[in-house]
A = this chain, B = another copy of it.
Amino acid sequence: MTTSSGHTTAILASKVKGTAVYNDQGDKIGTVEDIVLDKQSNQIMFAALGFGGLLGIGEKYYPVPWSLLDFNEDKGGYVVPLDKDRLQNAPAYDLKDLTKHDGSLGDIRAETYDYYSVSRDWH
């Protein structure tokens, strides 16, 4: 996103992995496990969040639109504007399903963006 003045801010992908994620009540709910990049366009497909211990889900990964993650300097982590219920009931997948090459990934992305009510900005 570029502001009218052309301002934009960026972060290195290597800095993101392992960063803590908080919900909108300020509770730490998990970490960014990885970021899934479209191979052919300049699109970030989604962040893959892990809620591991806290929610007791284990190995499942939660795809979340990257644009929903707001870095909070005070917390040193990302805040997502979602409560626990919304996240706990969100679409979750095995990591291998998030980089599959069989066309199902497009469906996963569409389902994810719809779930979080984020408009589809790919083409």
Contacts and interface: CB of A to CB of B under 8 A. Distances in A.
Q: How many copies does the complex hold?
A: 2
A10 B36 contact: yes
Interface stretch (A21-29, A51-59, A84-92, A101-109): A101-109
A99 B9 CA distance: 7
B40 A42 contact: no
B122 A2 contact: yes
A117 interface: no
B121 A41 contact: yes
Interface of A: 1-2, 5-14, 16-17, 34-46, 48, 65-67, 71, 98-99, 101-103, 105-107, 109, 121-123
Contacts of A12: 34-37, 48, 98-99
List the 8 closest pairs (A to B, CB-CB), nearest first. Answer: A13-B13, A13-B35, A1-B40, A1-B41, A6-B106, A7-B103, A9-B39, A42-B44
B10 A99 contact: yes
A40 to B, nearest CB: 4
